[in-house]
DNA sequence: TATATTGTTACACC
DNA sequence: TGGTGTAACAATAT
């Protein structure tokens, strides 16, 4: 489940690998996942052949100047006056295949079978778009097809709805204790877990990292914001940066389908204390990790370490 | 075949 | 009005 650290991993890797490459051809295998313009979210249902043609026409011949991240959104800055915004949602993947690292396997290709990587067949059953670049091939895979690729003219970037709504970037210097406290105290009756998941309060935190942050802050997910002492809110704030940075250092958490751009897994999963560990012993105290539903999401926590 | 899965929006309620 | 909670939705694997 790509969250801030996973999307940051993809953005950094793509920025390094794709910078200054030219888009030589574009294949769209799931037309409903692409759209054009700032207000087109979520993309309309069904295929629109004319729109797909236009999407390809715009992208063709463009050079990729940079790949950045805002919240969980990837932003490809193209040489023309266009940007491509990509959301991976639950199961999106970008895999870049360097022709030098290809192994031919019965008509299709797969990545070098590194130890820390699933066997990826490219293109695969869930490949939704293929970008032939000047230095290799970029595959966009998405099992669920909840993600999207959206082209926006640079003049209209400021009108993109999701960009307008995102709250502060938790790793930015400007994300001070005061900014966090002001944002979170607006919602005294919400559960702390739900508030951390709210992209307008803090951008980019999803289920994995909110659970981990609350574990390290020793706060139960269902606690109401208004019931937390200032010292407890401080503890939550203090854990946001370190936990997210650890995720980035580990190149993300390969829970579900997440892979890096070379097809390998991130290693953050090994460092989880609670997420995905329901029924297992707490790494700190041995108590069995429990789970509960808040805001329609599953939260895992240690009933002994977290109060 | 019912269920689980997540980010996001829509909507009802107070 | 806006905070709050719930449901719905996208599509697929299991």
A99 carries an active-site annotation: no
pLDDT confidence band for A149 (50 / 70 / 90): very high
End-to-end CA distance of chain A: 27
Please write the tens of the pLDDT for every residue from A75-103.
999 998 999 999 999 899 999 987 776 65
- Strand C within 7 Å of which CB atoms in A 188-227? 188-191, 194
- Residue A260 buriedness (CB in 10 A; 0-12 / 13-18 / 19+): buried
> Of A54, A63, A283, A297, which residue is the catalytic one?
A297
Strand B: list positions under 7 Å from protein Cβ.
4-9
Q: In what order do the strands lie in the sheet with A82-87?
A: A34-36, A148-153, A82-87, A73-78, A64-70
Q: Could you count the other beta carbons within 10 Å of the beta carbon of residue A24?
A: 13
Which nucleotide has the least CA–C1' distance to A294?
A: C5
Instruction: Please tell me the pTM assigned to this model.
Output: 0.94
Check whether A42 has a pLDDT greater than 70. no
Rounded to an integer, the average pLDDT of A47-65 is 92
pLDDT tens, residue by residue, A257-293 = 888 898 888 889 889 999 989 899 999 999 999 998 8
Q: Among this protein's residues, is A2 annotated catalytic?
A: yes
Q: How confident is the model at residue A104 (pLDDT cuts 50, 70, 90)?
A: low
A187 touches strand C (CB under 7 A): yes
User: Is strand B less than 7 A from the beta carbon of A3?
Assistant: yes
> Is the C-beta atom of A71 closer than 7 angstroms to strand B?
yes
Interval A124-145 mean pLDDT: 92
A148-153 vs A34-36, strand pairing mode: parallel
Name residue A63's beta-bridge partners: A22
Residue A191 has φ and ψ, to the nearest 5°, of -70, 145
Closest nt to A87 (CA→C1')? B7
Give the Cα separation of A186 and A239 in Å (integer). 20
The answer on pLDDT for A44 being more than 70 is no
- In tens, the pLDDT along A180-229 reads 999 998 899 999 999 999 998 999 999 999 999 999 999 999 999 999 99
Residue A123: cis peptide before it, omega within 30 degrees of 0: yes
pLDDT of residue A160: 87
Nearest to A170 by CA among A127, A205, A197, A218: A205
- Establish whether A13 is a catalytic residue: no
| Residue with more model confidence, A254 or A8 | A8
Residue A230 has pLDDT above 90, yes or no: yes
Distance CA(A162)–CA(A71), nearest Å, equals: 9
Asked whether residue A87, judged by its CB, lies under 7 Å from any atom of the DNA or RNA strand B, the reply is yes
């Amino acid at each position: 489940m790509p969250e801030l650290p996973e999307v940051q991993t993809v953005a950094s890797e793509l920025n390094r690998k794709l910078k200054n490459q030219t888009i030589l051809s574009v294949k769209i295998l799931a037309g409903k996942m692409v759209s054009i313009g700032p207000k087109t979210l979520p993309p309309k249902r069904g295929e629109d052949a004319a729109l797909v043609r236009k999407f390809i026409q715009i992208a063709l011949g463009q050079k990729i100047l940079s790949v950045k991240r805002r919240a969980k959104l990837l932003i490809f800055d193209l040489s023309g006056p266009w940007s491509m915004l990509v959301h991976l949602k639950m199961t999106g993947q970008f895999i870049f295949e360097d022709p030098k690292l290809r192994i031919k396997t019965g008509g299709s290709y797969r990545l070098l079978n590194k130890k820390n990587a699933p066997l990826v067949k490219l293109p695969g059953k869930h490949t939704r778009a293929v970008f032939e670049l000047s230095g290799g091939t970029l595959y966009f895979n998405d099992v669920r097809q909840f993600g999207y690729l959206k082209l926006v003219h640079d003049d209209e970037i400021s009108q993109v709805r999701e960009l307008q709504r995102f709250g502060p970037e938790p790793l930015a210097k400007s994300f001070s204790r005061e900014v966090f406290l002001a944002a979170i105290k607006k919602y005294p009756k919400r559960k702390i877990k739900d508030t951390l998941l709210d992209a307008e309060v803090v951008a980019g935190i999803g289920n994995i990292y909110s659970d981990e942050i609350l574990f390290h802050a020793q706060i139960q997910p269902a606690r109401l914001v208004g019931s937390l002492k200032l010292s407890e809110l401080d503890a939550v704030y203090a854990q946001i940066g370190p936990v997210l940075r650890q995720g980035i250092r580990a190149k993300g958490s390969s829970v579900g389908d997440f892979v890096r751009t070379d097809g390998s897994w991130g290693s953050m999963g090994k460092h989880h204390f609670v997420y995905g560990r329901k029924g297992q012993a707490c790494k700190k105290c041995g108590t069995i990790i429990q789970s509960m539903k808040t805001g329609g999401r599953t939260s895992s926590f240690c009933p002994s370490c977290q109060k």
